[in-house]
């Protein structure tokens, strides 16, 4: 199927590893001109090399911490006018309410929520003027079913979901769709860190924790980053024009509610 996005411009943040890297690769495979972002130049260069090798399309690199609105302005200057925004970043640390001080909450808000707001602010008006745009926000299964030791993630991703839904209502008439994608347990570096943290608390190995993540969902394994990336690429397509305001899980059936 021709997704109709060859030659469009995408910015994928948090793209030097894991889910962001997989999304950048999948978009580049469709002939999208991709800019990849993360905080670390060296990681981005390695990712860019990998994407060129796999797709023949060389992504642009925009280094910067997206928790800061000034950095976002610089990233957008490098990326140019964006048709497809994939707003993604690292996850905040795991823990309970009592583990975090005021500054931890502020940092997590900047990382998860304010980054997405500032990225949207930077791309929305040009999309509106063009009459076409795709806003895709990475959240988590935690917005559908909060995860006990991820209070920072549960809180700010829920806020991001509310933001996305509101934007989707307002901007649909300008050809702009806005959706969130909600990964369940997906085999990336981040998930290994979470497995390590759980392993320390429970006295088992991180490998056993990983196996446990897979066994709790009907599919019986953790997800592959490329499985989430396929959804992102579809949401970016011309065919997905009628999907907006949705929060779509890619979780092997982990989320058990009917709707």
Ligand X SMILES: NC(=O)c1ccc[n+]([C@@H]2O[C@H](COP(=O)([O-])OP(=O)(O)OC[C@H]3O[C@@H](n4cnc5c(N)ncnc54)[C@H](OP(=O)(O)O)[C@@H]3O)[C@@H](O)[C@H]2O)c1
Task: Name the minimum Å distance from CB 155 to ligand X.
Answer: 13
How is residue 251 written in tokens?
């979780």
For residue 38 the two structure tokens come to 């993360």
Cβ closest to ligand X, residue 55 vs residue 139: 139
Measure Cα distances from 229 to 107, 134, 211 in Å: 27, 15, 22
Q: Which lies closer to ligand X via its Cβ, residue 133 or residue 183?
A: 183
d(C-alpha 228, C-alpha 25), whole Å: 12
Region from 52-60, 77-85, 178-186, 236-244 binding ligand X, contact rule CB under 6 A: 178-186
Rule CB under 6 A: say whether 111 interacts with ligand X: yes
Per-residue string for binding with ligand X, 199-238, x by CB under 6 A? ----------------------------------------
**Is residue 254 helix, strand or coil?**
coil
CA distances from 254 to 38, 110, 120, 141 (A): 29, 28, 30, 8
**Residue 223 beta carbon to ligand X: minimum distance, rounded to whole angstroms:** 7
Minimal distance in Å, beta carbon 250 to ligand X? Answer: 9
Q: Is 114 a binder of ligand X (CB under 6 A)?
A: no
Q: Locate the DSSP E strands across 118-210.
A: 133-138, 176-183
171 is catalytic: no
192 is written with which tokens?
Answer: 């290994």
Residues 6+ apart with CB under 8 A from 203: none
The answer to the question of residue 86 lying near ligand X (CB under 6 A) is no
Residue 19 binds ligand X, judged by CB under 6 A: yes
CB distance 250 to 188 below 8 Å: no
Determine what percent of the chain falls in helix, strand and coil, rounding each to the nearest 5. Answer: 55, 15, 30
Q: List the one residue from 76, 127, 135, 191 that touches ligand X (CB under 6 A).
A: 191
Q: C-beta of 65: minimal distance to ligand X in Å?
A: 4
User: What residues between 26 and 85 interact with ligand X by CB under 6 A?
Assistant: 37-40, 43, 65-67
| Interaction site with ligand X (CB under 6 A) | 13-20, 37-40, 43, 65-67, 88-91, 111, 138, 140-141, 153, 183, 185-186, 188-191
Active site residues: 156
């Amino acid at each position: 199927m021709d997704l109709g996005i060859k030659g469009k411009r995408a910015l994928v943040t948090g793209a030097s590893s894991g889910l962001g890297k997989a999304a950048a690769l999948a978009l580049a495979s469709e002939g999208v001109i991709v800019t990849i972002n993360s905080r670390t130049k060296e990681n981005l260069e390695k990712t860019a090399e990998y994407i060129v090798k796999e797709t023949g399309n060389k992504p642009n690199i925009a280094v910067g911490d997206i928790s800061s609105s000034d950095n976002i302005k610089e990233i957008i200057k490098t990326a140019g006018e964006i048709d497809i925004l994939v707003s993604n970043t690292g996850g905040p640390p795991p823990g309970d309410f009592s583990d975090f001080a005021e500054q931890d909450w502020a940092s997590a808000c900047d990382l998860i929520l304010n980054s997405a707001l500032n990225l949207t602010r930077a791309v929305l008006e040009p999309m509106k003027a063009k009459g076409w745009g795709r806003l895709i926000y990475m959240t988590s299964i935690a917005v559908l079913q909060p995860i006990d030791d991820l209070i920072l993630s549960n809180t700010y991703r829920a806020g991001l979901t509310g933001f996305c839904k509101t934007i989707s209502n307002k901007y649909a008439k300008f050809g702009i769709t806005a959706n969130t994608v909600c990964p369940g347990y997906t085999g990336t570096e981040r998930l290994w860190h979470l497995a390590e943290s759980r392993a320390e608390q429970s006295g088992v190995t991180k490998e056993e924790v990983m196996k446990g993540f897979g066994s709790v969902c009907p599919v019986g394994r953790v997800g592959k980053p490329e499985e989430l990336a396929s959804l992102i690429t579809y949401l970016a397509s011309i065919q997905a024009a009628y999907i907006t305001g949705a929060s779509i899980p890619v979780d092997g059936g982990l989320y058990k509610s009917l709707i």
